Amino acid sequence: MSQLRKILHADCDCFFAAVEMRDDPSLRDIPIAIGGSRERRGVIATCNYPARAFGIHSAMPTARALRLCPHLTLLPGYFEKYREVSRQIQAVFHELTPLVEPLSLDEAFLDVTEVEGFRGSATWMARWIKEECHRRTGITVSVGAAPSKFLAKIASDWEKPDGLTVIPPERVDAFVRDLPVKKLHGVGPATGARLDALGIATCADLRELPIDRLLDEFGKFGRRLHELARGIDDRPVRIERERKSVSVETTFDRDLPDLESAATALAPLCAKLEDRLERHGRPPLAGLFVKVRFDDFSLTTLESRGLSPAPESYTRLLEQAWARARRPVRLLGVGVRLLPEDARQQLTLPL
């Protein structure tokens, strides 16, 4: 019988805001947010818990955040400082195990199955991570421990901020049964609404649906729902994450009123993408895409697998994407999908 895995998910609490509050204690009890200015049509990167009490959250337009909380203290963000704190926190993780999969500056999965210290207790390891991160950086970290990545991530969010939740193997079934389906990885607003329409609120409800019905309703994702509702998630902790795309985008200070002005704005983006691809050593490409966000915040992405990454190719994609709404444009992006690593290896195999 294979050994049950022990997975930790560590997640810094409101990370960017936490660093600012650490450096300036006067910010601790007032609503603060890190993000772009209202004048430059920025968005909120993160905010502290006093700000969240007003309904503010990450990815919210700054203008809306300021309407919800007019006395919000808005900070521009000092990302080199955040990266340095992140490096210190990641160093703590690597002292425990080399099997660390960073997801962003402020969170990571750790596979501690083979760790012999702390008598092999994932709970004690999680406590040590929390204590060491706070001692070295002043930042609180919430940690979840479970036999899978999916459950560890849910556990880390269970008692935020400064939480520690452990889901031992013998509790997995009962925990998952009561879990709201909207907590499942990959269930966004659209899938959540469809599950609501089917009368499915918890994983116990989801288990009642045969897999054939789930496949009919949700395609390939139906199989994933079937597995998650039973606590099944065999994804390993990956030390190196494979890059799937390279892209650049920009949000404009003023809406681009028509297709002609959007096409003009495409040229510098294509040049920047070209530079970025050069830095990545010109990896093999699987396709191109253009991303357009309109003035009503609707978003469309158009992809093609048959075009070369030239400015005229992106112009053709932009024309088709813009025709979907024919509205002023607030954000424009261009990018490439990269050929997966295994497919690259197949291309280089000798005949």
Q: Give pLDDT tens digits for 80-93.
A: 899 999 999 999 99
Residue 36 forms part of a structural domain: yes
Report which of 118, 64, 65, 72 is spatially closest to residue 95, judged by C-alpha positions.
Answer: 118
Residue 209 forms part of a structural domain: yes
Q: Is the pLDDT of residue 126 over 90?
A: yes
293 shares a domain with 341: yes
What pLDDT score was predicted for residue 348? 45
What pLDDT score was predicted for residue 349? 45
60 shares a domain with 138: yes
* 106 annotated binding-site participant: yes
pLDDT bin (cut points 50, 70, 90) of residue 347 is: very low
217 shares a domain with 114: no
- The mean pLDDT of 130-157, rounded to a whole number, is 96
- The mean pLDDT of 259-274, rounded to a whole number, is 90
Residue 203 forms part of a structural domain: yes
pLDDT bin (cut points 50, 70, 90) of residue 346 is: very low
Q: What value does the mean pLDDT of the chain take?
A: 89
Poorest-pLDDT segment among 36-45, 53-62, 245-254, 308-317: 36-45
92 shares a domain with 191: no
What digits encode the pLDDT tens for the residues 161-174?
999 999 999 999 99
Residue 234 forms part of a structural domain: no
What pLDDT score was predicted for residue 171? 94
136 shares a domain with 46: yes
Final residue before a domain boundary, out of 198, 228, 258: 228
156 shares a domain with 39: yes
Report which of 130, 124, 133, 191 is spatially closest to residue 159, judged by C-alpha positions.
Answer: 130
213 shares a domain with 160: no
What pLDDT score was predicted for residue 104? 86
Number of neighbouring beta carbons within 10 Å of residue 300: 15
Q: Are 112 and 97 in contact (CB under 8 A)?
A: yes
Final residue before a domain boundary, out of 166, 190, 217: 166
Cα separation, 225 vs 203, whole angstroms: 9
The catalytic position among 20, 101, 107, 132 is: 107
250 shares a domain with 119: no
pLDDT bin (cut points 50, 70, 90) of residue 42 is: confident
Residue 279 forms part of a structural domain: yes
- The mean pLDDT of 186-203, rounded to a whole number, is 89
What pLDDT score was predicted for residue 351? 43
To the nearest whole percent, how much of the chain has pLDDT over 70? 95
Residues 6+ apart with CB under 8 A from 80: none
Q: What residues make up the domain containing 179?
A: 173-228
Token representation of residue 252: 């404009």
Q: Is the pLDDT of residue 189 over 90?
A: no
Q: Is the pLDDT of residue 44 over 80?
A: yes
Residue 236 forms part of a structural domain: no
Report which of 44, 48, 26 is spatially closest to residue 35, judged by C-alpha positions.
Answer: 44
- The mean pLDDT of 107-129, rounded to a whole number, is 95
To the nearest whole percent, how much of the chain has pLDDT over 90? 65
- The mean pLDDT of 331-347, rounded to a whole number, is 72
Sign of the Cα torsion 301, 304, 308, 311 reads negative
Contacts within 8 Å (CB) and 24+ apart, 36-40: 36/62, 36/76, 36/251, 37/62, 37/74, 37/76, 38/62, 38/63, 38/66, 39/253, 40/251, 40/253
What pLDDT score was predicted for residue 242? 65
Cα separation, 289 vs 302, whole angstroms: 5
309 shares a domain with 210: no
What digits encode the pLDDT tens for the residues 210-220?
999 999 988 88
* 212 annotated binding-site participant: no
What pLDDT score was predicted for residue 341? 59
Q: Is the pLDDT of residue 186 over 90?
A: no
Is residue 242 annotated as part of the catalytic site, yes or no?
A: no
- Backbone phi, then psi, for 101, in 5-degree steps? -115, 95
- Residue 299 sits in a domain of what CATH number? 3.30.1490.100
- Residue 66 sits in a domain of what CATH number? 3.30.70.270
Distance of CA 321 to the CA centre of its chain: 25
What pLDDT score was predicted for residue 253? 77
pLDDT bin (cut points 50, 70, 90) of residue 35 is: confident
Domain count, the chain: 3
Q: Is the pLDDT of residue 243 over 90?
A: no
154 shares a domain with 28: yes
159 shares a domain with 28: yes
Residue 78 forms part of a structural domain: yes
- Residue 195 sits in a domain of what CATH number? 1.10.150.20
Q: What are the distances in angstroms from CA 112 to CA 104, 135, 228, 318, 342?
A: 19, 21, 22, 47, 27
Q: Is the pLDDT of residue 240 over 80?
A: no
20 shares a domain with 162: yes
pLDDT bin (cut points 50, 70, 90) of residue 7 is: very high
Residue 240 forms part of a structural domain: no
